[in-house]
Structure 1
């Protein structure tokens, strides 16, 4: 049998891949896997969540690989609110498929990410699924899912009744509170393009469901339930 790379058709333009991950070792590993494949090309990388907007604007990207827990900015180590931004990316860049590759296996987080519009969820310690990275990225450009077996199992489980009641908008609001704990309701509302009163209403709805009375309490309880991005370890 000849070189497997020769079996991949290169008649079409290469699939352009961008990566958001704050671990240099992971970025290098993705590059090594993908650059050995002629129909896949890494065109951009980023370490911080707030670099993502410029990355998407400045490059034509077919597949975006991201971790769910990357720092927001050099001066803000809080996790970037991925659950808020995935729907925005899907809406603004409908031809870009999103694949999450992470260590976090919380069922609520997996469901939230996939419901937000991601096309894949793979665990970093799932060597077998990661060994199929190139084919997985090709699959999501065709409209398929690319999932670790455990992620698929978690998606098939029925969520706890108390966690079924959260809307994507409510989870986005909680994610913003986690990423920007010192910003006012008005500042966070502007990121969702809603009024401050609407943002406060979203938070108050989550307080009732989480049985808490503050933003900090809501973020802590949502993280405990695996509904939003975990706290950095």
Structure 2
């Protein structure tokens, strides 16, 4: 994709927080090679707008209100209805599992809301060139080293293995990884404690520590994410 000051890149924003929309929009409008063409507060408004508005890059909030399409299904739907639009996820849900799911669903990049706004601008330009954008530390955690910081080579896919994305997360200790593997095999805390000859309290603590690092809060979320990564 090529663009210039005379033919700027068309950018749209979906975010249900007005201050975020205005903040991102104002920053994008200050760039001569970018053109803010639309701002949406919800998924239905977005889907209706895209029928009439040409968009090159969509900056999409992953976590919307409960009555909206969830981020994962919205990305999948957009890939089917509007395959020409490059999707850049911007979210405060910055766990490795969430990022992996978004990429596998069809997003072209991920910018955490803890990052600088200038990172967002660089990410927009990166995905417009049909490259994948990830913050450097995220790329390393996913086992993917970009050709340049925050960028991937054109056409090269990201490999996110379900085991490496969950059980082999680099922040997990070896014992936390053991506990997670057993959890995914359906074992209870008591069964895991018996298997490794550790106390139930120790196993429970290691399990909760692993959950915090992965950004999940219960067994069902762990199994859901593992299943979705395996099927993606």
Matched, 1:160 2:163: yes
Cα distance change on mapping 1:162 and 1:112 into 2, 3 Å: closer
Q: CA-atom RMSD, angstroms?
A: 3.0
In the alignment, what sits opposite 1:33? 27
Partners of 1:108 and 1:225 within 8 A in 2: no
Matches within 5 A, 1:1-233: 9-11=4-6, 13-72=7-66, 76=67, 80-127=69-116, 130-156=117-143, 158-160=161-163, 221-224=219-222, 227=225
Partners of 1:67 and 1:100 within 8 A in 2: yes
Question: What do residues 102-148 of structure 1 show as CA deviations (whole Å, max 9, x unaligned)?
Answer: 11122222111101111110111112xx3133232122111112222
Structure 1 or 2, whichever has the larger Rg, is 2
| TM-aligned CA deviation for residue 161 of structure 1 | 7.6
CA distance in 1, matches of 2:42, 2:185: 30
Q: How does the TM-score come out when normalised to structure 2?
A: 0.60
Using CA pairs under 8 Å that are at least 6 residues apart, name the structure with larger relative contact order, 1 or 2: 1
Question: What do residues 131-171 of structure 1 show as CA deviations (whole Å, max 9, x unaligned)?
Answer: 1332321221111122223432332275338979xxxxxxx
Partners of 2:64 and 2:70 within 8 A in 1: no
Gaps of 5+ in 1: 1-7, 165-208, 212-218, 229-233
| TM-aligned CA deviation for residue 221 of structure 1 | 4.3
In the alignment, what sits opposite 1:169? none
CA distance in 1, matches of 2:164, 2:130: 30
In the alignment, what sits opposite 1:182? none
Secondary structure of the residue aligned to 1:227 is helix
Partners of 2:109 and 2:133 within 8 A in 1: yes
Q: How does the TM-score come out when normalised to structure 1?
A: 0.60
| TM-aligned CA deviation for residue 24 of structure 1 | 1.4
In the alignment, what sits opposite 1:201? none
Q: Which runs of 4+ in 1 moved over 4 A?
A: 161-164, 219-222
Question: What do residues 176-219 of structure 1 show as CA deviations (whole Å, max 9, x unaligned)?
Answer: xxxxxxxxxxxxxxxxxxxxxxxxxxxxxxxxx796xxxxxxx9
CA distance in 1, matches of 2:99, 2:224: 9
